[in-house]
Structure 1
Amino acid sequence: MDDGTCGVQESSDMSISSDDDSIKERNENNVEVEHHHGEAQPHALLGEPELGMTFDNENDVREYYTKYAKAKGFGVMRRSSNTDANGQLKYLTLSCTRNGKTQSKSRNMLKPNPSAGLGCKAKINIARGPHGKLYLSTVILDHNHPLSPQKSQLFRCNKRLDFHVKRKLELNDRAGIRVNKNFNSFVVAADGHDNLTFGEKDSRNYLEKIRRLKLGSGDAEAVRDYFIKMQSDNRNFFSVMDVDDESRLRNVFWADARSRAVYDSFHDVITFDTTYLMNKYDMPFACFVGVNHHGQSVLLGCALLSNEDTATFVWLFQAWLTCMSNRPPKVVVTDQAKAIQNAVEIVFSDSRYRWCLWHIMKKIPEKLGGYEEYDHIKVDVGKEVYDSLTITEFEVAWLRMLEKYDIGDNEWLKGLYEHRHRWVPAFVKDAFWAGMSTTQRSESMNAFFDGYVNAKTTLKHFVSQYENALRDKVEKENIADFNSFNSTIPSITRFDIEKQFQAIYTNSKFKEFQEELTDIMYCERKLIQKEGAIETYCVPCIFHEEEFEIKCSCRHFEFRGILCRHVLCVLTQKKIKEVPPKYILERWKKNVKRKHNFIRCTYGGMDDSPVAKRFDSLCNSFYPTAEIGAMSDDSFNSLTEDLRTLQIKYTSNSSSEKNKDKAGTQEDQLQEDAPSNGAATSKSLLSPIAVRCAGRPPSLRKESKVDRLIRQAKEKKKKAELRE
């Protein structure tokens, strides 16, 4: 029976007697029988309560009256009770759930809440007799309202969550399945709501309770304890928590062991973004994202922040740098926020830094939309930014555009031109960025978490759901590794160069190479100048044959790490069969043994109780037997009979086993509640205060589907209230 209900737990030794010497009890097949002077007869239904009926304990009487009420069609509640100095029950009243007053507790008199009270007098009073037995001292059977046995399962006292139901709810919740879908799986399995002993609200309440039990009472303390446990599982798990003078959580950063190992292989390029609000404290989720050998986004650490000022970002970047063995990235991509820019210049002073091009270009309508020739201005800005191959070409075209439309006094354009080295492709494409010109990697990682968290997610629930989301990301990389190992993309040409990259690169990167290779048909192979060993082609490429040095003005290889169509055009023209190693990047190779592939992530950090582990083990052992038993009616009937025999065998010792398990569970809970590090948990840690984040307005922040639905529902409700 679920805690908090007025129902009664099953008891195998229940006995009910009355003054006429008839005793009702259960036989070995769990069928109720009534003994009359030694003669046992099957009893289909429980008899009505009678004065003087005796019971051994409170549990027996509550179980009896609840079953009686369910058969009649009304609910039962504990109305009053009294105990003596030793804690023994002296007096107890169980009544119909409709015994109260028909009075709403709502503060708004115009919107009263429904009330079940009808003043029903039906009840039983139980008192303790001189020999210690409980007996019925008062019995009132008449109700002042209709009864409905068909609706009995909806009364709170008849609702219960069996152990296997609780276990499945927990496992599905860990897998990120929403509560409504989690509950619907039970509805389908039971062939309808009527066959269930619980509702969706019961499932939701139980999961909320379990989340509190697993991670503690307070959000901040729960997150801290969770990090301590994760670090005990893997010493390479890294976490830092920033608190204020009142011991209130401000910022938190963490990275698992696998993320730290991934950085060893892919530390050249990272993006950083804070545009995703996802928990009830409105703390931005900030993530460091890199690119792996398949071109997939990989998480290199993440944080929850209480502010978006320079000091906060400096703290975060320093924590991340410490986590990554003080090895800064070669290049960093962020949005245009001034606070982030200041922090990058302080902490990552030796790194190449650029702004997200997408964030800049999307502001064009807002900043330039007021001009009459906006449509033409928008097109020309795009041409200057994307089509300029050299710095000189961009600067000439940009100044010409300002003069053409007389927009040289626009402050936004002035600021962009002043910092053009931070965002214009012609200024930054001489460095390797793994093809990233925007923080889209970070935002796609944010979107990846959409199915697991939303605006109501608490901190303690977030860390567990974070693991579920990241586990899926790791599995996608494992699948891509297997596909590159187990399959080969066929060549589409007869060039030896293609076979060279086919054998070395991962499938996804080889596809990119093939795309450039097929596009050489659009390039002219005309030699326009030759000075000694240096040849200049119109594509335009410069090729030094003796040193095998080739450069293209499009800088595709420098920017993406993949040879461009212009270079491949020249190499095929020269009948080159193999390119030197400097044009084959180690990070795109498929047969390289990388450290993070041998590290198991600390997923599933929340240990199960011993009871849950034994339950899972028994279920897994039974599945093969169940499959055999389901093959025919004979095997099904035989297995069912054997199971009934086993059930009777183990039920006979249920009382002692329950007491033993209860003691063990309490001991396990005490061990789980005990802090793993006394120094770390000696001081209470307070949850953060909900804050309003600086930087980009909330309306422009990335909004998940769940958040949007919640917002729309609130707006609809508010409009309806205004109409009323």
Structure 2
Amino acid sequence: MDPHSSTGRNTDVDFEDAEFVSEHGQLGGDQRVTIKEARNPNSANAVNEGSSNERLYIPEVEASTIHVVGMKFISIEVFYQTYAKLAGFSARKGGENHSGGIIKTKYFVCSKEGHKPLLIDDSYLKSRNPYKTRKKGTIRTGCKAQLMLGSVDGISFTVKKFVDGHNHTFVRPEDLHLLPAYRQLLEAHEEMIWELGTQNLGPVKAFHIMRKQYGGFEKVGATVDDCKNFRARINSYIGEYDADMVINRLTDKKEYLVDFSFEYSVDENKLLTGLFWADGLCKSNFMEFGDVISFDATFKTNKQVYKMVFVPFTGIDNHCRNVTLGAGLLASERTESYKWLLNSFVNSFGRQPKVVVTDQDPAMKQAIESVFTISRHRLCMWHIMKKVTDKVRYECATTRILKGECVILYGQIPLSLKYSRESGSS
């Protein structure tokens, strides 16, 4: 392992002896380039890299931010981070030497100091850890830029060595916000990501909203990946208690809201298998427009996490607009699951609807016949017209005459059945 790399132990750190240059002169026999030339290496003032010599880049910053041997500090980290940001690189802690419980020597180095350790292809280790690890690139270039501090009491520090030569180019000022050291999600950003998440807006959309609000990518102070990582940390913190949080939240609403209803079911492993809820607005909609309802299970959009389908109950008001009558979550689309859901619907609203419209799901059909005993079950007209193209030629199925006849026939079937039932003939 490289003894100059901070990946080693934080004790007995011994960097190479490097000549301190306070006036940006020559450092040993290496070639040196100013920060302007580093940000434009193709300029005429740039120094060509030799075959044996290493090109060094020297930051051009204000003299008040440059460290000089003998300077004393109490809070040196902030001062060096400010210098690094003005220069166009990011810094980190290198190591410390302790003696008698007191920090005697402290190092701050460039973020590109050292080299990434080589990975050993060990089949035994792979068998112990079968999970695949993401391959990451490295930014380490073995940069020797460093700041060495010494202390007697562990409180105040004195600059003992300062090496300002870097073996890499610097970041342009307009791209500094992309460096990990200067990316930070403030508390206001985290609250916005959380609040937008409650409105079904993901971290990517939350980032673009903040970008427009603050006036640019660089004004946000973070990247899209930072927003994604924050959301992932929230999900990791919630862990396996997400279902308990939902049940507790709905229980509190049922306690304080008189018209709120909800029911849930669990299996033998205490896993949530079904959930149904309806608030006061849903019940008002059902009282006015609950004669004909429709429900359908959406496709599984969360196959990797919850593996549950969303089942909304909808109706149509006097303006031909959809109104919500309730909603549910099911872990499976079997007949028993739909029976439980429809029984929860009847328990919440107190009566059965007159007409139920669904697709051609056999599990739904059996559940409706078992629970909605006095309701008429009809198939969705959209699904019927979609099936027509499978039975007849496409040219015939798309004509207005055939569509009109199907609509007329569809509207006459319930009417004839109604009269036949009232007359007792069937």
SS of the equivalent of 1:95 reads strand
Correspondent of 2:371 among 324, 347, 356: 347
Superposition pairs of residues 354-503 of structure 1, within 5 angstroms: 354-366=378-390, 368=391, 375=395, 382=403, 385-388=406-409, 424-429=410-415
What is the CA distance between 1:194 and its match in structure 2?
Answer: 4.1
Following superposition, the deviation at residue 157 of structure 1 comes to: 1.2
Alpha-carbon distance between aligned partners in 1 of 2:332 and 2:99, rounded to the nearest angstrom? 56
Alignment correspondent of 2:315: 290
Q: 1:77 matched to which residue of 2?
A: 92
Counterpart in the other structure of 1:121: 144
- Residue 36 of structure 1 is matched in structure 2 by none
Deviations 1:523-582 (A, max 9, x none): xxxxxxxxxxxxxxxxxxxxxxxxxxxx9xxxxxxxxxxxxxxxxxxxxxxxxxxxxxxx
| 1:209-248, Cα deviation, whole Å (9 max, x unpaired) | 45767x6764433433433444455354333332222222
Q: What is the rounded CA distance, in whole Å, between the counterparts of 1:106 and 1:272 in structure 2?
A: 57
CA deviation after TM superposition for structure 1 residue 303, in Å? 1.5
* Counterpart residue number, 1:53: 72
Matched to 2:277, the amino acid is: W
Is contact 1:284–1:306 with CA below 8 Å preserved after alignment? yes
Q: Identify the residue that residue 268 of structure 2 maps to in structure 1.
A: 245
Greater share of strand residues, 1 or 2? 2
User: Which amino acid is 2:413 matched to?
Assistant: F
- Residue type of the alignment partner of 1:352: R
Structure-2 separation of matches of 1:257 and 1:83: 67
- Distance in 2 (CA, whole Å) between partners of 1:234 and 1:263 is 18
Distance 1:259 1:217 in 2: 30
Shift of 1:196: 4.4
Note if contact 2:98-2:104 (Cα within 8 Å) is conserved in structure 1. Answer: yes
Kept in 1: contact 2:278–2:327 (CA 8 A): yes
State how far apart, in whole Å, the 2-side matches of 1:231 and 1:128 are.
63
Output the amino acid matched with 2:328: A
- Whole-angstrom distance in 2 between the partners of 1:84 and 1:316: 69
How far apart, CA to CA, are the structure 2 residues paired with 1:182 and 1:138? 45
Quickly say closer, same or farther: Cα 1:267–1:178, change in 2 above 3 A: same
**Structure number with higher helix proportion:** 1
Q: Distance in 2 between matches of 1:344 and 1:91?
A: 78
* TM-score, length of structure 2 as denominator length: 0.66
Matches of 1:242 and 1:136, distance apart in 2: 67
**Structure 1 residue 70: Cα displacement:** 0.4
Contact persistence 1:239–1:253 (CA under 8 A): yes
Quote the residue 2:171 is aligned against.
148
Q: Answer whether contact 2:104 2:154 (CA < 8 A) is retained.
A: no
Distance 2:372 2:206 in 1: 45
Amino acid at match of 1:427: I
Q: In structure 1, what residue type is equivalent to 2:221?
A: T
Aligned to 2:286: 263
Q: Which amino acid aligns with 1:242?
A: S
The alpha carbon displacement at 1:264 in A equals 3.0
RMSD of equivalent CA atoms: 4.0
Contact 2:96/2:106, CA 8 A, preserved across alignment? yes
Please tell me whether residue 99 in structure 1 is matched to residue 122 in structure 2: no
Change (3 A) 1:188 1:431: same
User: Is the 2:110–2:145 contact (alpha carbons within 8 Å) kept by the matching residues of 1?
Assistant: yes
Distance in 2 (CA, whole Å) between partners of 1:361 and 1:296 is: 21
1:307 aligns with 2:332: yes
1:103, CA displacement in angstroms? 6.8
Secondary structure of 1:183 counterpart: helix
Structure with the bigger RCO (C-alpha within 8 Å, sep 6+) is 1
Deviation at 1:126, TM superposition (A): 5.7
In the comparison of the two structures, how many residue pairs are matched?
Answer: 342
AA partner of residue 141 (structure 1): D
Alpha-carbon distance in structure 1 between the residues aligned to 2:414 and 2:135: 65
User: Quick one: percent identity of the two aligned structures?
Assistant: 26
Structure 2 regions of 5+ residues with no counterpart? Answer: 1-61, 122-133, 420-426
Return the letter of the residue paired with 1:355. L
Instruction: Within 5 Å, give how 1:500-539 maps onto structure 2.
Output: none
1:188, distance to aligned residue in structure 2 (A): 4.4
Summarize the Cα distance change of 1:44–1:136 in structure 2 as closer, same or farther, 3 Å threshold: closer
Distance 1:327 1:152, change over 3 A: same
List gaps (5 residues or longer) in structure 1: 1-42, 389-423, 433-550, 552-724
Cα distance change, pair 317–190 in 1 and its aligned pair in 2 (3 A): closer
Map of 1:512-661 to 2, 5 A cutoff?
A: none
Distance 1:383 1:181, change over 3 A: closer
The answer as to 2:82 corresponding to 1:67 is yes
